[in-house]
Copies of this chain bind each other. A is one copy, B any other.
C-alpha cells in the first residue's frame, strides 16, 4: 500500500497490456517528433549546447514514468524553466564554459532534491503562494522576454541584455549588422510555423486526410521546418555566407557524471533552485490535473513532487538541466492517446535513438530555425488580455499581476516572481485587515438581521449589533478594536454591543486578546459585549480559555435570541409586525 503510494508504476504496471502499450507507443512517436526540435531549442534558450536538450529528455522521462502519478504528463525541457535556468546560471558562470554547464547540472540536482523533499514532507501547499494572476503574469512576461531574446538569432546579430529594455536596446544597436539570409530563414520558418499551427490541420482535413493523420502532420510542423531549412543550408552552402548553424553535436549516450557539490555554488543557486522548483511544479500540476480530470482520474500532488524531483535528479546525473511537465506537449500526449506514464518512457527511447543516430543530420540546422521554433511556442504563452480580466474582477489581484509583469520585464524573472508573491500576500493581508462590517437591524416580521444601510430594519437605541464578514486574526484584530471604539464613542446611549460571528471561521490569539481588550474597555465605559452565532470549532477553542468566564455579556445561539434578550419589547413588536419588502431604494443602498 505504502510502496504503491511512492511507486505508482506498481499500480498501473500490474494491469499493463498490449492495447495500452499500442496507445502509448503511438503517443510516444508523436511526442518524440515534437520533442526533438523543442529539446534542442530550449537547451539553446538555457544557454547550453543543443545535445544537452536531448540528454534532459531521456532519463527524466523514464524516472517520471516510475514515480509520477499523471497518466498524460510529458516531462522534459520547457520554455519558462529554461529561461529561469539561464538567468540563474548566468549569474555564476559565463555561457559556453564547462562551469556554466556544470552549474546547470547542479541546479537540476538541487531542484530535484528540493522537489523530492517537498513531496516527502508534503509541502506541496507552498506552490499555493503563487497566486494564479502572479503565475499568469509571470508566464506572459517570460514569454515576451524569451521571444525578444531570440530575435538576435533570427536576425543573425550578436546582441545581449539582461532585461527587456537592454535586449531591445542592444538589438536596435546591432540591427545594422543583420545577416539578410539568416533573417529570411528565421522569418519564413516563424511564418510557416504560425501558419502550420493555425491552418495546416484544417487544410489537410479539407484535402481528405483522416483527422488523426492530419493532426500528426500538423504537429510535425517544426520537424518539417528543421528538415527544410537544414537541407537549404546544406544544399546552398549558406553557412559559408554567414548563417549560423548548430554545428557538430556529439552523438552517443548521455554522459553519466556526478554533479558538482561545491557549497559556494549551491548556496548561490539555492533561491533560484527553489523558484524553479515551485514554478515548474505549479505549471506541471495544473496541466496534469486538467488532463486527469478529463478521464475522471486523479493525481496526487505530493507524489507529483516526488516524480518531478526524481526526473530532475535523473537529469542531473545524465548531463541534463532542469525539466518539468510541459503544457503543450502534455496536451499532445493526451490527445494522441497516451494511457499510462509508459508513453513517456517510450518517448525517452525515441529521443535516445535520436541522440545516437540523428545528430550528424543536424549539423547544418540553422540556429535561426530553432529561434523561430521558440518564438512561435512562447508567444502562445503571452496573455496580456489576462490583465484586463483581472482588473475587471479584482483590483488587488490586478496590482499583483501588473507588478509581476513589470518587474519581470524590467528586473528579470527572479525579481518578478518574488515581487508578485510578496505583493499578493501583502494585499491579501491588507484586504482581510479591513473586513466588511455590517451594522444590523431586525427585518420586521422575521428573525432575520440585515445591514441597516441596505434594508428597512428595526433597531434598539441602546443595542449595537454588528456582523463581521471575516475570520478574526492578527491583521484585522486592531481594526475591530478601532471599529468598536469609534462606534461606541459616537453614541452615548449605547449599553450593549453584540458581535454576530456567523462568518468568523477562526479567532486567533491576537483576535482573542483584542476581544478581551474590547470587552474590558466596554466594561470600563459601562457597556456589555455579547457574541452570537459563534461556530462550533471557534466556540470549542474559546471554551479552552477563561475569556467566556470574564466576558461582560453573554453568548447567544442566534442573533434573534440576543436581540430579544436585550430589547424584548422592541424585538417582540418587530417580530409580530407584518413582513414587508425591506430593501431600500438603490440610492440609499449604495454601500
- Give chain A's interface residues, CB within 8 Å of chain B: 125, 127-134, 285-286, 289-290, 292-298, 301, 389-390, 392-394, 396-397, 424-425, 428-436, 469-471, 473-479, 481-482, 485-486, 488-489, 492, 502-503, 505-506, 508-510, 512-514, 517, 520-522, 524-525, 535, 537, 541, 544-545
Contact = CB atoms under 8 A, between A and B. Distances in A.
Contacts of A424: 474
B517 A289 contact: yes
Contacts of A128: 429, 433, 474-479
Contacts of A541: 393-394
In the complex, the count of this chain's copies comes to: 2
Contacts of A394: 508-509, 541
Given A289-B485, A290-B521, A481-B289, A503 B503 contact: yes
B470 A293 contact: no
A358 to B, nearest CB: 37
A485 to B, nearest CB: 5
A520 B502 CA distance: 31
B131 A434 contact: no
Contacts of A297: 489
Mostly, the A contact residues are helix
Nearest to A421: B474
26 contacts: A125-B475, A128-B475, A128-B477, A129-B475, A130-B474, A131-B473, A131-B509, A132-B509, A132-B510, A132-B514, A285-B478, A289-B482, A289-B521, A293-B520, A296-B492, A297-B489, A301-B482, A394-B509, A428-B429, A428-B474, A431-B506, A432-B471, A432-B506, A436-B505, A469-B537, A503-B505
A532 B568 CA distance: 33
Nearest to A391: B509
A489 to B, nearest CB: 4
Given A128-B429, A296-B489, A390-B509, 6 more contacts: A128-B433, A128-B476, A129-B474, A131-B474, A394-B508, A428-B475
Nearest to A503: B505
Contact of A125 (B132, B133, B430, B473): B430
A505 B435 contact: yes
A296 B488 contact: yes
Quick one: which of A433, A471, A474 has the most chain B CB within 10 A?
A474
Contacts of A434: 125
Nearest to A431: B506
B431 A425 contact: no
A589 to B, nearest CB: 10
A289 B521 CA distance: 9
Contact of A508 (B129, B396, B471, B537): B396
A233 B128 CA distance: 65
A556 to B, nearest CB: 18
A389 B510 CA distance: 12
Contacts of A492: 296
Contacts of A509: 131-133, 390, 393-394, 397
A134 B512 CA distance: 14
Nearest to A489: B298
A132 B525 contact: no
A481 B394 CA distance: 21
Contact of A298 (B292, B429, B485, B522): B485
A466 B346 CA distance: 41
A73 to B, nearest CB: 15
A434 B128 CA distance: 11
A537 B435 CA distance: 12
A389 B207 CA distance: 77
Quick one: which of A294, A428, A486 has the most chain B CB within 10 A?
A428
Given A125-B433, A128-B433, A293-B521, A512 B393 contact: yes
A470 B469 contact: no
A525 B521 CA distance: 56
A298 B489 CA distance: 6
Contacts of A514: 132
A4 to B, nearest CB: 16
Contacts of A436: 505, 537
A575 to B, nearest CB: 20
A584 B196 CA distance: 63
A348 to B, nearest CB: 28
B301 A545 contact: no
A94 to B, nearest CB: 31
A435 B509 CA distance: 18
Contacts of A481: 289
Contact of A473 (B292, B428, B478): B428
